[in-house]
Amino acid sequence: MAAAVGAAIPFHRNMPAGFIPEAIAADPLRIEGKDGLSVLGRRPLNAETPAHLLDDPVTPTARHFIRNNGIAPSEIDPRTWRLRIDGLVHRPMNLSIEDLRNRFEVVTRRLTIECGGNGRAFFEPRVPGNQWSLGAVACSEWTGVRLADVLKAAGVKDNVVYTAHVGADTEASGVKGGLPLSRGVPIEKAMDPGNLIAFGMNGGPLHPMNGAPLRLVVPGWPGSCSQKWLTRIWLRDVVHDGAKMTGSSYRVPAYPIQPGENVPDGAMTIIHSMPVKSLITTPRTGLSITTRKLSVAGHAWAGDNEVAHVDVSIDFGATWRQAELQPPVNPYAWQRWSATLEFPRRGYYEIWARATDDKGASQPFAVSWNPKGYLNNSMHRISVRVS
DSSP per position, 342-385? E-SSSEEEEEEEEEEETTS-B--SS----TT-----PPEEEEEE
Cα 216 from Cα 219, distance rounded (Å):
9
* CATH 3.40.50.11540 is held by the domain 1-246: no
Residue extent(s) of CATH 3.90.420.10 domains in the chain: 1-246
Give the residue with greater pLDDT, 178 vs 297. Answer: 297
Q: Provide the β-strand partners of residue 46.
A: 41, 67
Return the CATH fold of 277-386: Immunoglobulin-like (2.60.40)
Task: Pinpoint the alpha helices (H) of 239-339.
Answer: none
In the predicted model, is pLDDT for residue 22 greater than 60?
no
> What average pLDDT does range 240-249 have in this prediction?
97
Dist. CA 242–CA 164, nearest whole Å: 7
- The pLDDT of 292-318, averaged and rounded, is 97
> Per residue in 262-286, pLDDT tens?
999 999 999 999 999 999 999 999 9
Between CA 133 and CA 48 the distance in angstroms is 8
Q: Decide if pLDDT at 29 tops 80.
A: no
d(CA 273, CA 184): 13
Under the banding of pLDDT at 50, 70 and 90, the label for residue 172 is confident
Per-residue pLDDT of 338-385, as tens digits, reads 999 999 999 999 999 999 999 999 999 999 999 999 999 999 999 999
- SS3 (DSSP) at 101: helix
Give CATH 2.60.40.650 domain extents, the chain. 277-386
Average pLDDT over the chain reads: 94
User: Which residues partner with 335 through β-bridges?
Assistant: 300
Pairwise CA distance, residues 21 & 155, whole Å: 46
